[in-house]
Structure 1
């Protein structure tokens, strides 16, 4: 049989068809079409099958990328799906929202050699969408049911990945979330044009079908304390994510129409889900007809500017204190935003929000990039006397997120946190300062990517499994018995 890979010399890089900027400004639909089978096979066949797969090395879940690319090139899609999902609970989600240009694709060997990267994310989405259509995606069915129960606080990517892994092992899994839908920021934070909500909702149904118990509109600290959950379950995983918006300390920050990014995005996503959203309907959190200024340069800022465009804003500007090369967000997202009409104001820092009761303009200053800091990025320095004004009757602050005060929120002062406010844990065992309480995702590592949350959730599931087994073995050796039977 003729070799199906190593075609990068003769076959160029090609993404799936992308809708025109004019079309996608009008709706919230995803901007890329799916590969057809021939194009998916052709693009997968560009993989060089290198001996040291840097794409896999730089993937947080260590996806076996060259293997499933080879299988796709050979038309063996069911096997490709099995390999892909073996290390990733949500491959079709990562295929859509991972910043591949900073992870797998950015480290592709043929990209470094000048041939253009393999379009890994698009092929990953194609494989998994085909698997859903063909009925290959099945709920987790453990070989036997165990009595041991695990409580998971948070129905975001870390909590859901852990829930599925623990369910496969036979544990009784209970997931608690304060919101009314499953998915965390995947459902309420990420706009439809990057991740349509049916993709998250069908994963939620799969977990329901697997026997995971969900307790929604359940707030730990209000409906039960952390100590009460510890008494109820054999182990508890904290996977709440980070939701406390960072603020900017400038005059006028309290004016009307200056909003945190998450308030804006959640409102837009709830509207798209068909909810009754008064603050959207009355125009408060609707950018239609407004001059919008977004402060920040990460992926959340890109979500905000592109949402504002779709809502019909008069103008959308993104103010970022560094230059394009130092931007933390995906360069692919920046390019998409520019195509859609967003204006980027580089090397610019807000000094004040102007207005009487409501904001009417942003006073900004030019920035000079100085010497690199401890992270290697150049330090922004304000250029004196360079102030100027930007018209804005809606300002969105997309400056990142910090953890909430969980010891207070959970009514559990014994839960230790770091100086950054994240839950303190042993990174080897993933256990917190409380016996049998583990942590995973952003609440432990700080604001990060969905794919890192998935990795943490999977790792936490393994540590929880080991903890419950050890506890049961200790009870069998004469220690105080655990109230559940552990897996063998």
Structure 2
């Protein structure tokens, strides 16, 4: 049925139903059920069809959100998928893991007018899952082959988005990754309760059917030299992401029982993929996660599902200043996580292994350069949280890519991110970079945008080389 738009005056916002906390604590399946056709159409019809669509403006990909909401309201789902996928390589992934409350939904005019935002992420997921079910999602098959080849280092969201865009242009594409599977953090870093692995693997199979070649277990600078990679291809894209954990920088952080967040999450994701992984299990332990971002939320919610005795999240600011998604915080609280706000770690207690986290209470002082109030320790307020498993989730830094690749000519910033020009070309001719390795640890949706932008620049570069060769 075709629905009129602007139905927010009598239709209340409705999110997809969530499984109960007691049930979802027992497994790593996604916590929300999908919208049915009537619910998706009704929620889409709430859209105000703004003249200035702030939802699109605040989407890194510039998704044409009002357009595909209108098409969903009119039950024109195939057209809605065409519009959605025209700007987003992986709408089924963004619909699940984007922090919509900080991006499109958080800037929806209805949210600002207290009517409750349109549930954009849930509708996006509905569109794409319907498209897969109906067979509307097909491999990219270029009209003609260009005769040019591109090598991509890194099989995460930036690399895969670039691969799809370049294959669409007819270029031969090979993606290299040091892990045994493609997907990067989509596979290894994000827990199944946010993004089930078969969703990612389904998209990778489509890319393979499009002709993208995947080579796993390849260490650039080891298995293959960077110089050899450049000889193989007309252009190279570095899309390695950032994996090096930021250090705790406190006494006792090297004790057994103190773990980096990504190591912990990778272990569980490997279990979800069917591997036998004995280490890094929180079952029966008192867990303290240090940090306040989305990775910290992934860790605390993983520990709950592993059967931890207790799970606490230690964060030095208050709830309002937490960088992680408010929805993720709410989900964690529902599942039994305890938040220790306004407290910072001073040391890890213990002699031979971690036995607790020594912390101090904080108050918020003057604003820093970013405008956020800086946390200041309250003298004499120290306390200890008993813990035999401590997880550091303070974010990620880039690895030393020039050293890893044995390529000293590759310029990096003072933060070790790879430097590029406006076309995303590095200091080396024909070598481009995109995603977190350029911008620092960020969101998947930004990595997708960067990968697509890099693909456009690479296409122009190799096309110019073809034109020069033909002269």
1:31-430 equivalences under 5 Å are: 31-279=31-279, 285-426=280-421, 428-430=422-424
Q: How far off is 1:421 after superposition? A: 0.4
Q: How far off is 1:248 after superposition? A: 1.1
Q: How far off is 1:383 after superposition? A: 1.2
1:436-483 superposed Cα distances (whole Å, 9 cap, x missing partner): 000000000000000000000000000000111122223334xxxxxx
Q: How far off is 1:225 after superposition? A: 1.6
Alpha-carbon distance in 1 for matches of 2:216, 2:157: 15
1:446-465 equivalences under 5 Å are: 446-465=440-459
Q: Which runs of 5+ in 2 are unaligned?
A: none
3-state secondary structure, aligned to 2:451: helix
Matched-pair contact (CA < 8 Å) for 1:225–1:412: no
Alpha-carbon distance in 2 for matches of 1:336, 1:105: 18
Alpha-carbon distance in 2 for matches of 1:404, 1:395: 23
3-state secondary structure, aligned to 1:385: strand
Give TM-score, length-normalised by structure 1: 0.96
Alpha-carbon distance in 2 for matches of 1:317, 1:204: 36
3-state secondary structure, aligned to 2:129: helix
Matched-pair contact (CA < 8 Å) for 2:45–2:69: yes
Alpha-carbon distance in 2 for matches of 1:219, 1:88: 29
Alpha-carbon distance in 1 for matches of 2:397, 2:215: 25
Alpha-carbon distance in 1 for matches of 2:220, 2:145: 27
Alpha-carbon distance in 2 for matches of 1:199, 1:422: 30
Runs of 4+ in 1 over 3 A off after TM superposition: none
Q: How far off is 1:3 after superposition? A: 5.2
1:333-381 superposed Cα distances (whole Å, 9 cap, x missing partner): 0000000010011111000100121111110001111111111111111
3-state secondary structure, aligned to 1:47: coil
1:222-241 superposed Cα distances (whole Å, 9 cap, x missing partner): 11121111111000000000
3-state secondary structure, aligned to 1:30: coil
Structure 2 counterpart of 1:13: 13
Q: How far off is 1:201 after superposition? A: 0.4
Q: Is residue 427 of structure 2 the alignment partner of residue 433 of structure 1?
A: yes
Alpha-carbon distance in 1 for matches of 2:70, 2:154: 36
1:272-309 superposed Cα distances (whole Å, 9 cap, x missing partner): 11112232xxxxx1001000000000000000000000
Matched-pair contact (CA < 8 Å) for 1:423–1:444: yes
Matched-pair contact (CA < 8 Å) for 2:3–2:41: no
Alpha-carbon distance in 2 for matches of 1:422, 1:384: 37
Alpha-carbon distance in 1 for matches of 2:3, 2:266: 48
Aligned length: 471
Matched-pair contact (CA < 8 Å) for 2:41–2:74: yes
Q: How far off is 1:2 after superposition? A: 7.0
3-state secondary structure, aligned to 2:361: strand
Matched-pair contact (CA < 8 Å) for 1:158–1:239: yes
Query: Are residues 402 and 19 of structure 1, via their aligned partners in 2, closer, same or farther at CA, if it must alter by over 3 Å?
Result: same
Matched-pair contact (CA < 8 Å) for 1:258–1:396: yes
Alpha-carbon distance in 2 for matches of 1:141, 1:24: 40
Alpha-carbon distance in 1 for matches of 2:470, 2:185: 42
Query: Are residues 115 and 145 of structure 1, via their aligned partners in 2, closer, same or farther at CA, if it must alter by over 3 Å?
Result: same
Q: How far off is 1:147 after superposition? A: 1.2
Query: Are residues 80 and 2 of structure 1, via their aligned partners in 2, closer, same or farther at CA, if it must alter by over 3 Å?
Result: closer
3-state secondary structure, aligned to 1:430: coil
Alpha-carbon distance in 2 for matches of 1:429, 1:268: 38
Alignment RMSD: 0.9
Q: How far off is 1:320 after superposition? A: 0.5
Structure 2 counterpart of 1:481: none
3-state secondary structure, aligned to 2:240: coil
Structure 2 counterpart of 1:484: none
Alpha-carbon distance in 1 for matches of 2:101, 2:37: 23
